[in-house]
Structure 1
Amino acid sequence: MTEILDATDWAILAELQEDGRIAFTELARRVNLSASATTERVRRLEAAGVITGYRAEVDLERTGYPVAAVVRLTYPGPAARHEPLRRLLEERSEILECLRMIGDDGYVLRVATTSMGHLEEIVDELAQYGTTTTNLVLSRPLPPRGPAVPRVGAPEQ
Structure 2
Amino acid sequence: MAENLDATDWTILAELQNDGRLPLTELGKRINLSASATTERVRRLESLGVITAYRAEIDLAAVGLPILAVVRLKYPGSKHEPLHRLLAERTEILECLRTTGDDCYQLKIAATSMPHLEQVVNELAAFGSTATSIVYSQPLSYRGPRR
Q: TM-score range by the shorter chain?
A: over 0.9
Shift of 1:11: 0.8
Shift of 1:59: 0.3
Matches of 2:68 and 2:6, distance apart in 1: 38
Q: Which runs of 5+ in 1 are unaligned?
A: 150-157
1:65-102 CA deviation, whole Å, 9 max, x = no partner? 01110000000012xx1100000000000000000001
Matches of 1:44 and 1:30, distance apart in 2: 18
Partner of 1:17: 17
Say which of 135, 138, 144 aligns to 1:137.
135
Matches of 1:105 and 1:135, distance apart in 2: 14
Shift of 1:26: 0.4
After superposition, the CA RMSD in angstroms is 0.5
What TM-score do you get using the length of structure 2 for normalisation?
0.99
Secondary structure at the counterpart of residue 134 of structure 1: strand
Partner of 1:38: 38
Moved over 3 A (4+): none
Shift of 1:47: 0.7
Equivalent AA in structure 2 for residue 51 of structure 1: I
What TM-score do you get using the length of structure 1 for normalisation?
0.92
1:135-156 CA deviation, whole Å, 9 max, x = no partner? 000000111111112xxxxxxx
Aligned length: 147
Q: Which runs of 5+ in 2 are unaligned?
A: none
Secondary structure at the counterpart of residue 77 of structure 2: coil
Partner of 1:59: 59
